[in-house]
Amino acid sequence: MSGLVSLLLAVVLAPLLQGLIKTTKARLQMRLGPPVLQPYADVWKLLRKGSVVPETTSWVFGAAPYVVLGSTAAAASLVPTLWRGASFGDAILFGGLLAVGRFAMALAALDAASNFTHMGASREMAISAVVEPALVAGLFALAVPAGTTDFGALSLARAGDGLLSLGPGSFLALAALLIVAIAETGRVPVDNPDTHLELTMVHEGMLLEYSGRPLGLMALAAQVKQIAVLGLIGALFVPWTLGDAGAPLWLALVGYAAKLAVLGCALAGIETLNAKLRILRVPNLLGTAAALGGLSLVARAALGG
């Protein structure tokens, strides 16, 4: 039941979070920007349109959007949203499901036989080679002291730690996972989701040959992935907002929405204050995230916080 609730909340609220980020970014840049609910209209419009499929593609190209959305939705169902301590899934499975979606997208980009999709797939695989160790290091820095990689048990253990969960090791892990969130969601300074400039795009480059319903599924999958990663950060670093068996449901919903809103506005602020990095400098940023995750493990072992 907890996994089903997490899945439904992620799918329903993912476009709203995307709209909040876009609107906040526009306001910070002194622009009007799109309405907050615009992503719902965009996805619905794409899902109702027909698609044009390149002649060179195989069944891989057509199946990839469903694999990407399915694996991303499955990863979102593992994230604690309203309750802590319930049985969800572990950090290894979460990272593996995200990797399955990334692999399917890259495989479809190669299947399209386009220079730009091939370039986007190559860049995505190069970035993921550094993102995944950083994600594992950041999550393991929290999991090792708790003695479990299960998200439900981990959120319960961190909520029981009280002020000890705010130690230096936790802040280092938070910094590592925030950089991972920027890379996983394809945002500035790692990537720019609002551009179609061939020489700079990564994620959007792999989607150039998609149109209509498959493109709508890919867009929804990217939004679900964004809310899953940000929701996981909120659940692990602010676990006190998660309810228990006797807590009111509305209070847990308010806490979940507040965490997503704060993290979404933080992403919009980061995008506004930073320019996109050159592609050759992105590994340096992601290497910093991996180093922060390793330092978090050392700090928790040495200082216990």
**Residues 213-270: tens digit of each pLDDT:** 999 999 999 999 999 999 999 999 988 777 665 567 788 899 999 999 999 999 999 9
For residue 39, tell me if it sits in a domain: yes
For residue 177, tell me if it sits in a domain: no
pLDDT-derived band at 133, boundaries 50, 70, 90: confident
For residue 85, tell me if it sits in a domain: yes
Paired tokens of 243? 């309810």
For residue 158, tell me if it sits in a domain: no
**Omega cis (within 30) before 214:** no
For residue 179, tell me if it sits in a domain: no
pLDDT-derived band at 87, boundaries 50, 70, 90: low
- Across the range 48-74, mean pLDDT stands at 95
- Across the range 165-175, mean pLDDT stands at 84
**pLDDT at residue 169 in the model:** 82
The pTM (predicted TM-score) of the whole model is 0.94
Number of domains in the chain: 1
For residue 44, tell me if it sits in a domain: yes
For residue 84, tell me if it sits in a domain: yes
243: β partners: 83
pLDDT, mean over the chain:
89
**Residues 98-126: tens digit of each pLDDT:** 999 999 999 999 999 888 899 999 999 99
Provide the residue range defining the domain that includes 44.
2-130+190-273
- Across the range 183-200, mean pLDDT stands at 81
pLDDT-derived band at 162, boundaries 50, 70, 90: low
Comparing 182 with 145, which gets the higher pLDDT? 182
Question: Is 286:129 a contact under the CB 8 Å cutoff?
Answer: no
Identity of the residue numbered 142: L
**pLDDT at residue 145 in the model:** 81
Burial class for 36, CB neighbours closer than 10 Å (0-12, 13-18, 19+): middle
For residue 37, tell me if it sits in a domain: yes
